[in-house]
């Protein structure tokens, strides 16, 4: 009886979460006429790549893809470069205002983009950073930073002080102690934080929508939204676009899902 409830509950849950993805993937591989047949076919009669081919030949999907990769990668590198030393300092040095900084970081973390996007846009316009990928990277870095700091701080806190103190006593300089003792231990945390940052930058719509106007600068979420709006919807092509955008997310998700299930970092995507 109890097994029965469990089994049916989990089945309903998995159907609800997974079926939409299955349907998207099936549509992406169907030929145009099959997409609109009644009754609909669950699996494609014959697999075709014509939708993907159309996506790359008739739209600027490849350009959007390049932009997304570039912007997300730069955001990850810049965020980690700024957040890692700061998080280390917040856990290792006593200085005035340390606790206040941590509290302020948590507070900014709760801001939603819509509450800052207007003045942010005006500011970027004044700095002549609208319509540039650099401006977008800065926006994402600012948006990811509070959470990155928070995650890295908990990671550094979990590394025992004794280890680096021993290294310092043995005559190592602090940079050497950090490089050879602390960083190797903190590496999983740094990689996980980088992954959350990547997903946030890869998925964002609103900043890219507001800050970019030129078609050749658009990232994937904005590019796909505009493809959808452009004319009569080419469902096979749109579904193949959705599928391709998800591939990198799926790849990094495999790595972070164990952190998520352990209750760690689920606020990272912030949505």
Partner 1 sequence: MTAARTGWLLVLPALLLLAALTVYPVAYGIWISFFSKHSFFPEQQFVGLGNYAAVLADEEFWRSLELGLIYSLTTIALQLVIGVAAALLLNEAFPGRGLARAVSIFPYVVPTVVAVIIWKWLLNSQFGLVNYLLGIPVSWMGRDWIMVSLIIVSVWQFFPFVLLAVLARLQTIPPELYEAATVDGAGAWRRFVHVTLPQLQSVLFVVVLLRSIWMFTKFDTPWLMIQGGGAETYIRTLPIYTYQRTFAYYEAGRGSAMAVIMFLMLVAAAALYFHFWRREEQL
- Confirm or reject binding of residue 142 to partner 1 (CB under 8 A): yes
Residues 29-58 that bind partner 1 (CB under 8 A): 35-36, 38-40
- Confirm or reject binding of residue 260 to partner 1 (CB under 8 A): yes
Q: How distant, in Å, are the alpha carbons of 114, 138, 204, 267 from that of 228?
A: 23, 28, 17, 29
Give the DSSP per-residue string, 224-254.
HHHHHHHSS--HHHHHHHHHHHHHHHHHHHH
Residues 176-195 that bind partner 1 (CB under 8 A): none
- Confirm or reject binding of residue 23 to partner 1 (CB under 8 A): yes
- Interacting span for partner 1 (CB under 8 A) from 57-65, 163-171, 185-193, 262-270: 262-270
How many angstroms separate the CA atoms of 46 and 31, rounded?
Answer: 8
Is the CA virtual torsion 184, 161, 95, 90 positive or negative?
positive
Is the CA virtual torsion 18, 65, 206, 194 positive or negative?
positive
Residue of 193, 62, 74, 86 whose CA lies nearest to 139 = 74
Which residue of 52, 145, 151, 177 would you call a contact of partner 1, by CB under 8 A? 145
Residues 148-167 that bind partner 1 (CB under 8 A): 149
- Interacting span for partner 1 (CB under 8 A) from 57-65, 159-167, 179-187, 231-239: 231-239
Is the CA virtual torsion 41, 42, 47, 53 positive or negative?
positive
Give the per-residue contact string, 198-217, with partner 1 (x = CB under 8 A; - = no).
-x--xx-xx---x-------
Residues 87-116 that bind partner 1 (CB under 8 A): 88-90, 92-96, 98, 101, 104-105, 108, 110-116
Which residue of 21, 49, 134, 157 would you call a contact of partner 1, by CB under 8 A? 21
How many angstroms separate the CA atoms of 15 and 5, rounded?
Answer: 15
Which residue of 63, 117, 168, 185 would you call a contact of partner 1, by CB under 8 A? 117
- Confirm or reject binding of residue 62 to partner 1 (CB under 8 A): no
């Amino acid at each position: 009886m109890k097994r029965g409830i469990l089994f049916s509950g989990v089945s309903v849950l998995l159907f609800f979460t997974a079926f939409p993805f299955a349907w998207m993937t099936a549509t992406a591989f169907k030929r145009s006429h099959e997409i609109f047949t009644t009754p609909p076919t669950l699996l494609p009669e014959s697999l075709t790549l014509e939708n993907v081919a159309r996506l790359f030949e008739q739209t600027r999907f490849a350009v959007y893809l390049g932009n997304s990769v570039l912007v997300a990668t730069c955001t990850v590198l810049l965020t980690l470069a700024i957040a890692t030393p700061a998080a280390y300092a917040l856990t290792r040095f006593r200085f005035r205002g340390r606790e206040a900084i941590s509290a302020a970081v948590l507070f900014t973390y709760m801001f939603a983009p819509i509450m800052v996007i207007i003045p942010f846009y005006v500011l970027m316009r004044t700095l002549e950073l609208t319509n540039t990928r650099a401006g977008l990277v800065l926006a994402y870095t600012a948006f990811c930073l509070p959470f990155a700091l928070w995650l890295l701080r908990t990671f550094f806190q979990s590394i025992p002080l004794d280890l680096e103190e021993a290294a310092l006593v043995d005559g190592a300089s602090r940079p050497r102690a950090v490089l050879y003792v602390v960083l190797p231990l903190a590496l999983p945390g740094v990689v996980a934080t980088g992954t959350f940052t990547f997903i946030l930058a890869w998925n964002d719509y609103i900043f890219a929508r507001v800050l970019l106007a030129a078609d050749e600068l658009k990232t994937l979420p904005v590019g796909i939204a505009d493809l959808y709006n452009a004319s009569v919807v080419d469902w096979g092509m749109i579904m193949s676009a959705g599928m391709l955008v998800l591939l990198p997310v799926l790849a990094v998700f495999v790595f972070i899902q164990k952190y998520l299930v352990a209750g760690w970092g689920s606020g990272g995507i912030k949505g």
